[in-house]
Structure 1
Amino acid sequence: MDPYEPNIDPILIQGASFIGQAMMNRLIGEGKTGITTNSVYDSWTPARAYQHYHGAVRILSEAASVQYASPIKQNFSDLRPGLGYDPRTVSWKFPALWRGGEWHLRDIVDYELTAAMGALEHMAYYRERWLRNFYTVQKRAISWNGAPYAFVVPPDQRDSVTAVEMLNILRFGEVEVEQAEAAFTADGVEYPKGSYVVRVAQPFGAFAKTMMEKQVYPDLREYPGGPPQRPYDVTAHTLPMQMGVKVITVNQPFQASLTKVEKIAAASGAVEAGPVTAGPAKAYLLEHDSNASIKALNRLMKDKAEVYWAAKPFSAKNKLYSAGTMIVHGGAGIETKLQAIARELSVNFIAVNDRLNVQAYKLIPPRIGLYKSHVASMDEGWTRLIFENYEFSFTNILDKDIRAGGLRSKYDVIIIPGELSETQIIEGHRNGTVPPEFAGGIGEAGVQNLRDFVNEGGTLVTMDKATEFAAKQFALPVKNALEGVKPQDFYVPGSLLKIVLDTENPIAYGMPRETAAFVEQNAAFDVTGNAKAVGNYPLTNPLMSGWILGESKIFGKTAVVDVPVGRGRIILLSIRPQFRAQVRGTYKLLFNSVYYGPATLTTYE
């Protein structure tokens, strides 16, 4: 159903309808009822519609569940509207009502088999037309002569490792990537040798274009002036914004000496030689800009290295270093370890013998507990994945572990991931709906144990909906400015919004002052008292890609909050800082939070 992403060739959009109607025709012809087409799923995000950007048609069919394999009984009067259809009303895309009754696993198999045979019969009958259309789609792709002409990824990146990762994602999607063998000029701007170029006129240029450009999602309503029509999935997928990579759109054709590349590798890192000729340097500096610096930190922590974060900007070797720069204390054998880390992770350490005399946070290996509710949270799985990828040591903690208490003796940091409401965290599954060992949440006892954990010096990091749990249960000096606001007055269904960061707060170390954050109907806080605003929405429309309604509701509101509580602290990340393990540009907000909590402020001489 609408909308479909504008980079998809119209032939493919119509093709999905063409084959879907054939499948439905065979189902209806066999007397099967309760079937809809052109409903539920849109064709907006390439996360699902990958085929549409690669010269093929994507179709998806689903049947009503029987909840594993037991027959269910469904009354007609209990059926409710879905996205784009009403099961109790006849329409052109829902022509035969299912009147209720029993529904079996056998029914699912029969319906799906008929649908599959309808698709195969259709493809066989119209095979020449399908082949001709596929040829036309690919011919149009390689003949593209509009704007933009190309995207340029220059080598001077804030996080060059992530930039290379982005290019390899495009290569994985079969996008052709070229590298400049010499400097060139495009749209009046000179780019250096080594710049990467992605031209749109190529077989899968539509995929490159949709991943690299800003999305403008249409303002769709249930009825004129009514609430927004909910998208099936998110509305923004702009890869450079998500990953914090600088990409320039070039509209006019240009000449350059370019060579196609296959797998792209980041330049090997190194330890810049210090001014000493024997023994290690006094210290080694690593700037905080790259996500790879966090992986390097995790390896150093496992090696029991002495590591600090500078709390203020400082100068060394005639260069100004920003707050958050990593200071690795020198010692026997440390340079050999740093050389290995530098080579493997493409980071650069600077050896110094200067007396730094800078305020700094002494870091320790944090004992991390990642909350895993029995109410399944995909966000917990994505968090676990990125922690594994970035080599964090952590333990999953369950409801029973939080109810048992004694948390501070086991953990320095507890993380409550997103997608879990206050009710789900506290109450969990109702008794009788799951086996007894999976029923219930953390309960009031667990809430009190979390309060004790923070008051005793622990750090609680909450994300997405869980920030509202923390705000209310800990009576924090914050208030969600969007509480009770109706969707027609404010709506942001998975978009990239600008936030402005206090980069001298440890939570935002290594971040640019302004960045794109993934937001999906998240809280926006007013902060008072001792709560510190670390990331705010600007006083103008924050939309960078996707869709937002009622943007003025969040002007100047806070998305990232640091709240000291007792001897510990609570960090509210009310954005989605690690959404689906995609948004590399805001990973550091989570990573920094983990190390910041248990760190000790001192002076590094």
Structure 2
Amino acid sequence: MRFKHFFGWALLLLLTSSSIFAQTIPSPKQHFGFAIGDDYQLATYTQTAAYFKKLAETSPRVKLVDIGKTEEGRTQYMLIISSPENLKNLDKYKTISQQLAHAEGLTDEQAHALASEGKAVVWIDGGLHATEVVGAHQLIETAWQLSSRTDAETVNLLNNVIVLMTHANPDGQELVSNWYMREAKPEKRSTQFLPRLYEKYAGHDNNRDFYMFNLKESQNMGRQLFVEWLPQIMYNHHQTGPAGSVVAGPPFRDPFNYVFDPLVMTELDAVGASMINRLNAEGKPGYTKLGGSVYSTWYNGGLRTSTYFHNMVGLLTEIIGSPTPMEIPVVPERLIPSSANPYPVLPQKWYFRQSIDYSVSLNYGVLDYAVRHRDELLYNIYKMGKASIQKGEKDNWGLSPKFSAEITKLAQASQSSMPKSEEAGGEGRGRNAIPVRLYDSVLKKPAYRDARGYIIPANQPDFATATRFINTLITSGMQVQKATVDFIVAGKNYPKGSFIVKTNQAFRPHILDMFEPQDHPNDFQYPGGPPIAPYDAAGWTLAYQMGVQFDRQIEAFDGPFEKIAYGELQTAKGSITPSAKKAGYLLNARTNNAFAVANDLLKAGIDVFRTDDSVYNNFNKGSFFILATAKNKAVVEQAIVSLGVDAVTLATRPTNLTKITPARIAIWDAYGGSMPSGWLRLIMEQYHFATEVIYTKDIDTGKLKNKYDVIVFVGGAIPSLTGTIGRGFGGFEEPKADSIPEAYRNRLGKITAAKSIPQLKQFLEDGGNIITIGSSTNLAYHLNLPVKNALVETVNGVEKNLPSEKFYIPGSILKVSVDTTQLGAYGMPSQADVYFDASPVFNILPEGQSKGTIKPLAWFASAQSLRSGWAWGQSYLNGGVAAFTAKVGKGNLYAFGPEITFRAQPYGTFKFLFNGLYQ
């Protein structure tokens, strides 16, 4: 009886304290004035940040962390949620997570001990794509439930897991929620027709920046993911789900990237099973997986996908949902249960709160897996890291389609002479089997071995850009080394300050992915049928895109190298090689930052010239010359050194110089924001070009030369002759003028052949320059220039575009030859890597060749131009012109078919743009 009496009081005390505990933490409704998921209600980031602060103040389970500023200057917050005891020991658990992920110097026994002692670390984010409003709001609701719930599952979960709840795009939530809530009448509210991008530069492309880290938000999150916490699982919330379903999630469809550790894929499948099981057990239908959606695990650079290259389980869900009630439509094929759709959802009205509830359930499904498999997750990330280290310390041959194809080709060639013993079941085990010796001849070929490491020489022409590349690796958590003195490897001399990236480290998959070409499989709906588009790009090798010079080492090597601390970014410091007499400074045009130096000096009123010849060693034609005077010495030398440019002083002034002055530069944009144009703005700011954003109405007004010297069009600004918007921007839907605030109405309007093109032609004839990139090169056809589409065939006497069954190149890297004597190509190497995404290719008609009005800048000089990715039918490119310049009146049109500014990543082709930005 005494025991029962005591137990009763204890239970009452527990219930009372739990009730008090829950009551001290404000609910979302108490804070926002509405419950998360209520119809027609969205919270702003200002309100959300205030709520996060309240949770941290009132809940002993919550710690609020400022992870950095956004592009618009807001504070980006991450909530760390776990048990109060775990929060007291965060440094300990963070160290364990780092030790196991890096897998350095640990024995299996030590790793098991750390895995047993540590806590699983799970990242859950929301709001990256701000119009996908479920993401940010499920983050609020989940944070509230984890902070306040006292049920046994939640308590057990927080005892075993550290949850990193990260807001991925504060600026976007503020814009979208304010836009939605601006209407007083709830039924009129909509997230459609935002006036600008919901991330200052990138908009939706902010989820394509996680190997490049151009954006402040990406840098903030990258540091937490890959340097600070190294979670075993990360969950990236998106929307919307495919029609006729509620949510798409893991497991994902093929192909997956061949550099992954296999455990990444099988753990991904296992966590996906926990998520779908949770929904099914709760009676929540509509989860689709595998081929039920378009999502794969091939691409790097997404917030979710980049984690696979770090041995983490990266989760993505795409869920339907809107604060304005919506309908799940009838999609007959999704009503039949299948492995892709095991529990179909029926057509019905759908409410925002349902999507929030689904999201919370999915989060709990992930966290439940982390609890049940805590030590396994911690040990497995060590196991994958250890395997990567071991692969980098010995000869290893990676598997990919090109090697499989080579083995098949050898087998076909040898079958006619196959010995009878093999036919009868010897080495080859039958006539159609492939002998192991053929496998050995390919996958044990010394030249095909994976690299043991890469050396980035400090004496390359653009070491500042190479350093920028190294910083992307460092932000991604790679171990980078630096030479303390000059050294020799494989008979080649390298200078002090060179960077070394070895592959015997835990995140070897990411290193290979940044240096080596991607080999995307030939992926078709059926033999001879149309290709299946990759989820994003097919090839992106960053070292190629950035024009970085590196040496690939396939033998073990060492030297006077010091390890750079994880996360410690590097700065390129410029130098000035003196001469006996100083007439002036010469900056190599091959250095991107030389343009930034020139821009700074021009703004300071200092004369800047470009050389018309190659005047010094390997300095290219078009290099920058600045006269040396006592007055400008300090300014010039400070700019050179601070921007990482290696300059020389010349004893005499070069004879052939052209003085440059700043141009009045306009960048086209559209209502709602063009992502390619946004990335271009970022590039211009990084390299200190002053620009003005203009819209179609500004063009249609005319008298353009009175206001601008250069206009830049990127993406799908210029429609084709048939009126369709080209690839790159994809077209845009505009609202009616009276449905948006008056301040934004001047942004409305599309480029038209009737009104806009004549004004652009007049601008050129008056002496203005126009730079077109990607499908904006359609302008050449509107101007009736003597060029034509090179990617066509004649069928029954009619010229048509090549079908995708014959020619298909999604985002990939191709090689072009370059005429470096032309102004538009100053500073470029004679062979360059360009980013090609179904890009325009031209033939110059005889008239243009004979009159010399069209001058090629870059062209495809080979039937095998692919460097990284997927290029079906690439032989059609041979001889095609990738870029040209054309004289139109007093002005010049520059046409660049490849995406030379794509997502602000291909630093190696920025000079194509920069050269046209001066007078």
TM-score by structure 2 length?
A: 0.60
- Partner of residue 429, structure 1: 733
Query: What residue number does 1:82 align with?
Result: none
Give 1:242's aligned residue: 545
**CA shift digits 1:211-256 (9 cap, x unpaired):** 1112111111111221111100112221221111111121122342
What pairs with 1:187-586 in structure 2 (closer than 5 Å)? Answer: 187=490, 189=492, 191-262=494-565, 263-270=569-576, 272-273=578-579, 275=581, 281=583, 283-314=584-615, 321-331=619-629, 333-354=631-652, 356-358=654-656, 360-374=657-671, 376-420=673-717, 422=719, 423=723, 429-430=733-734, 432=736, 435=739, 437=745, 439-443=748-752, 444-468=754-778, 470-482=779-791, 484-528=801-845, 529=848, 530-586=853-909
Using the alignment, how far apart are the partners of 2:259 and 2:904 within structure 1?
Answer: 25
1:74 Cα deviation from its structure 2 partner: 4.7
What's the offset of the Cα at 1:521? 0.4
Mark the CA change 1:284 to 1:579 in structure 2 (over 3 Å): closer, same or farther. Answer: same
Residue 137 of structure 1 is matched in structure 2 by 384
Instruction: Note the C-alpha offset of 1:549.
Output: 0.5
- Opposite residue 47 of structure 1, the aligned amino acid is G
RMSD, aligned CA: 2.4
Deviation for aligned residue 1:362 = 2.6
The Cα of 1:118 is off from its aligned counterpart by 1.8
Q: Is the 8 A contact 2:665 2:709 kept in 1?
A: yes
Pair 1:288–1:481, CA change in 2 (3 A): same
Conservation of the 8 A alpha-carbon contact between 2:483 and 2:496: yes
Aligned mates of 2:373, 2:556 — CA distance in 1: 39
Give the structure 1 partner of residue 340 of structure 2. Answer: 93
Q: How many correspondences in the alignment? A: 577
Using the TM superposition, give the Cα deviation of residue 270 of structure 1 relative to its aligned residue in structure 2, in angstroms: 2.6
Residues 316-369 of structure 1: CA deviation (Å, up to 9, x unaligned): xxx5753212222455612232112122112244343535332x4331110000
- Opposite residue 318 of structure 2, the aligned amino acid is E
Kindly tell me: are residues 289 and 329 of structure 1, through their superposed partners in 2, closer, same or farther at Cα, counting changes over 3 Å? same
Q: Distance in 1 between matches of 2:503 and 2:842?
A: 41
Taking a change above 3 Å as real, the CA distance of residues 430 and 286 of structure 1, as seen in their structure-2 partners, is closer
- Is the CA contact 2:482–2:564 (under 8 Å) kept in the aligned structure 1? yes
Q: Is the 8 A contact 2:697 2:749 kept in 1?
A: no
Rounded Cα–Cα distance in structure 1 between residues aligned with 2:339 and 2:759: 56
CA distance in 2 between counterparts of 1:181 and 1:335 reads 30
Pick aligned residue for 2:281 from 23, 29, 53: 29
User: Is the CA contact (8 Å cut-off) linking 1:429 and 1:440 kept in structure 2?
Assistant: no
Report the Cα distance in structure 1 between the residues aligned to 2:560 and 2:638, rounded to whole angstroms: 35
Q: 2:355 aligns with which of 102, 108, 122?
A: 108
Counterpart contact for 1:499–1:516, Cα < 8 Å: yes
Distance (Å, rounded) in 2 between the aligned partners of 1:396 and 1:493: 29
Give 1:461 deviation, angstroms.
0.8
In 2: Cα distance, 1:284 partner to 1:254 partner: 38
Equivalent residue number for residue 307 of structure 2: 51
Change (3 A) 1:200 1:400: same
Distance 1:370 1:305, change over 3 A: same
Which has the larger displacement, 570-579 or 144-153? 144-153
* Residue identity in the other structure for 2:751: I
CA shift at 1:487, angstroms?
Answer: 1.4
The one-letter code of the counterpart of 2:891 is G
Tell me the amino acid that sits aligned with residue 505 of structure 2.
Answer: Q
When structure 1 is superposed on structure 2, of 204-213 and 119-128 the one drifting more is: 119-128
Compute the displacement of 1:441 (Å). Answer: 1.4
Percent identity of equivalent pairs: 30
Q: 1:41 aligns with which of 287, 295, 302?
A: 295
Contact 2:257 2:297 in 1 (8 A): yes
For residues 737 and 812 of structure 2, what CA distance do their matches in structure 1 show? 35
**Which structure 1 segments of 5+ residues have no match?**
80-85, 599-605
Query: Counterpart in 1 of 2:481?
Result: 178
Tell me how far apart the structure 2 counterparts of residues 308 and 380 of structure 1 sit (CA, whole Å).
29
- Return the match for 2:373 from 126, 136, 139: 126
**Post-superposition shift, 1:495?**
0.6
Name the counterpart of 2:434. Answer: none
Looking at structure 2, the residues matched to 35 and 465 of structure 1 have their Cα atoms a distance apart, in angstroms, of: 37
Which stretch of the first structure deviates more once superposed, 44-53 or 120-129? 120-129
Letter in 1 for 2:315: I
Letter in 2 for 1:41: Y
Q: Distance in 1 between matches of 2:749 and 2:605?
A: 40
CA distance in structure 2 between the partners assigned to 1:288 and 1:172 by the alignment: 28
Q: What's the offset of the Cα at 1:65?
A: 4.6
Alpha-carbon deviation of 1:102?
A: 2.3
- Pick closer, same or farther for the CA change 1:569–1:512 going to 2, 3 Å: same
Matched residue SS, 2:317: coil
Work out the CA distance in 1 between the residues paired with 2:561 and 2:280. 55
Residue in structure 1 matched with residue 462 of structure 2 by the alignment: 159
Q: CA deviation at 1:562?
A: 0.2
- Counterpart CA distance in 2 for 1:185 and 1:89 is 65
**Counterpart in 1 of 2:58?**
none
Instruction: Report if aligned partners of 1:425, 1:441 keep a CA contact under 8 Å in 2.
Output: no
**Using the alignment, how far apart are the partners of 1:166 and 1:217 within structure 2?**
23
Per-residue Cα deviation, 1:108-141 (whole angstroms, up to 9, x for no partner): 2122122222222222223333233223212222
- Counting helix residues as a fraction of each chain, which structure ranks higher? 2
SS in 2 for 1:2: strand
> How far does residue 25 in structure 1 lie from its aligned partner after superposition?
1.9
Mapped to 2, the partners of 1:249 and 1:187 lie a distance apart of 11
- Structure 2 unmatched runs, 5+: 1-252, 397-449, 793-800
Q: CA deviation at 1:589?
A: 0.5
Residue 188 (structure 1) shift: 5.5
Q: 2:260–2:509: 8 Å Cα contact kept in structure 1?
A: yes
Letter in 2 for 1:290: T
Describe the SS at the equivalent of 1:98. Answer: coil
- The residue that corresponds to 1:17 in the other structure is 269
Moved more, 90-99 or 549-558: 90-99
Cα distance between partner residues in 2 of 1:478 and 1:33: 55
Q: Deviations over 1:568-590 (max 9, x none)?
A: 11111111111111111111111
Residues 590 and 256 (structure 1), Cα distance of their counterparts in 2 relative to 1, 3 Å cut: same
> Which structure is larger by alpha-carbon Rg, 1 or 2?
2
Secondary structure of 1:76's aligned partner? coil
| Residues in 2 aligned to 1:113 and 1:420: alpha-carbon distance in whole angstroms | 41
C-alpha spacing 1:89/1:441, structure 2 compared with 1 (3 Å): farther
1:602 is aligned to none
